[in-house]
């Protein structure tokens, strides 16, 4: 009887020890390695969020301390300040489409960048459709929670793509 009680106590202790050890083990497994393709995929998610939810969807991909370097304008610091200028994305007659052309990740795996081209479709003052073309660069930073957010974004005008 004593040996079966002893075995039950040992089994319970092993289960309890395993329960306490489990969360640490879940976090100690090697994380998925960030790749340039992963960042390009994030760009696609980012664009779909902007199309579906306007400025709120767009800004959901920005880090709190993000910096925007807009074409021909002053640098804008902080997600809250950047958001103040993104209301144009809430107008359903506007459409911002971008295509990542390249990307890379730092050796440390916590910083990366993407670059590519964009088109901004809107209506001009005369009511006719207009398209603005340009280029962009986004610097992405892995956050403490493991999510990637835009830390710096910049764009500038460019020529219409050759067809």
Of 66 and 28, which is predicted with more confidence?
66
Distance CA 38, CA 54 (A): 23
Q: Is 93 within 8 Å of 108 (Cβ atoms)? A: no
Q: For residue 153, what are the contacts with CB-CB under 8 A and spacing of at least 6?
A: 62, 66, 67, 68, 69, 136, 137, 138, 139
| pLDDT digits 0-9 by tens, 98-124 | 999 999 999 999 999 999 999 999 998
CB 47 within 8 A of CB 97: yes
Summarize pLDDT for 30-42 with one digit per residue, the tens: 356 899 999 999 9
Section 56-66 average pLDDT? 98
pTM over 0.85: no
Query: Is the domain covering 34-157 a CATH 3.30.300.130 domain?
Result: no
64 is written with which tokens? Answer: 């709190």
- Contact by Cβ (8 Å): 50, 83: no
């Amino acid at each position: 009887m004593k040996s079966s009680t002893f075995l039950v106590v040992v089994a319970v202790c092993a289960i309890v020890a395993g329960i306490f050890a489990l969360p640490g083990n879940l976090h100690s497994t090697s994380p998925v390695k960030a790749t340039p393709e992963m960042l390009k995929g994030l760009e696609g998610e980012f664009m779909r969020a902007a199309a579906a939810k306007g400025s709120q969807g767009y800004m959901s991909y920005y880090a709190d301390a993000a910096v925007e370097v807009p074409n021909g304008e002053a640098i804008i610091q902080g997600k809250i300040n950047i958001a103040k200028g993104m209301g144009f994305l809430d107008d359903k007659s506007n459409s911002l489409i971008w295509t990542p052309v390249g990307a890379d990740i730092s050796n440390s795996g916590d910083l990366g960048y993407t670059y590519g081209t964009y088109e901004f479709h809107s209506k001009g003052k005369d009511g006719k459709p207009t398209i603005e073309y340009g280029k962009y660069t986004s610097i992405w930073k892995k956050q403490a929670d493991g999510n990637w957010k835009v830390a710096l974004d910049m764009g500038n005008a460019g020529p219409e793509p050759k067809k």
